[in-house]
Amino acid sequence: MADSLDKIMYSFVVEDVLKGFFIHVPPGYVACVYDLGRGVLRKVYEPGLHLKIPFWQKAKLFNTQTLEYNINRNFDPNKPRLMGDLPIICKSSDARNVKVEGTILLRLDIDRIPEIWQSIGEEFVEKIVRPTVRSRMRLVAARHPSSDLITSKRDSVEIEAQQELERVFYPRGILVENVLFSDIEEVFKTS
């Protein structure tokens, strides 16, 4: 009985106390630390093993790899924390409805991650990315006739959409690497 109690105590010490001293940051991630006395620290911890004060500081990992924000019919709206959205219905300049599907490649600015965590929080997809993508896609589509969106000038519309997203995301610490449309089709209303 005493032997099993010793094993339980040992596992508590190893798991909670000793691991509480370290932040293990894998490749493709950085860590930020929340300190009970000073709030979110401005230092960003790059991949490797780092020390922290157990019970007083809490570490949060952030993915710094390219993130895919997929806009397609397979998105599950019941999981709003996922990166993505359902197809976006937009009105073109010739008053036709078009449905936009595609992928937006995003990345968090490593140096601004503490600011993102402090001012926006972990739910930056729900709070910033999704509403901005919907708004900017509709804005860009409204500038062009449906024929330009669907065929002839699709590549220039992708560049314009990227510039619009960069204008909103960059000040918030989110970088737009590319906007890629996979499908734009006209939506016909059925009566």
If we measure between CA atoms, which residue out of 143, 141, 150 comes closest to residue 88? 141
Chain segment 52-89, per-residue pLDDT in tens? 988 899 999 999 999 999 999 988 888 767 788 999 99
DSSP 46-109: PSEEEE--TTTEEEEEEE-SPEEEEESTT--TT-TTSSEESPEEEE-TTS-EEEEEEEEEEEE-
What pLDDT is attached to residue 75? 87
For β-strands 84-85 and 67-71, DSSP reports them as parallel
Q: How confident is the model at residue 154 (pLDDT cuts 50, 70, 90)?
A: confident
How many angstroms separate the CA atoms of 121 and 11, rounded? 33
Rounded distance, CA 37 to CA 35, Å? Answer: 5
Q: What percent of the chain is modeled with pLDDT above 70? A: 87
The radius of gyration of the chain from alpha carbons, rounded to an integer in Å, stands at 22
Q: Give me the pLDDT at residue 1, please.
A: 57
Given a cut of 60, whether residue 16 has pLDDT beyond it is no
Question: What does the block give as tokens for 98?
Answer: 């078009």
Q: What is the mean pLDDT of residues 8-27?
A: 68
Task: Judge whether residue 2 has pLDDT over 60.
Answer: no
Residue 14: pLDDT over 80: no
pLDDT grade for 13, boundaries at 50, 70 and 90: very low
DSSP, residue by residue, 8-39? HHHHHIIIIIIGGGEEEE-TTEEEEEEETTTE
Q: For the chain, which domains are there? A: 2-63 (no CATH), 67-186 (3.30.479.30)
Of 154, 144, 147, nearest in space to 182 by CA: 154
Element containing residue 45 per DSSP (H, E):
none
Q: Which helix (H) or strand (E) holds 175?
A: strand 174-186
Query: Which pLDDT tens digit goes with each residue over 96-134?
Result: 999 999 999 999 999 999 999 998 888 888 889 999 999
Place of tokens 């918030």: 172
In DSSP terms, which residues pair with 63 in a beta bridge? 29
Tell me what the pLDDT averaged over the chain comes to: 87
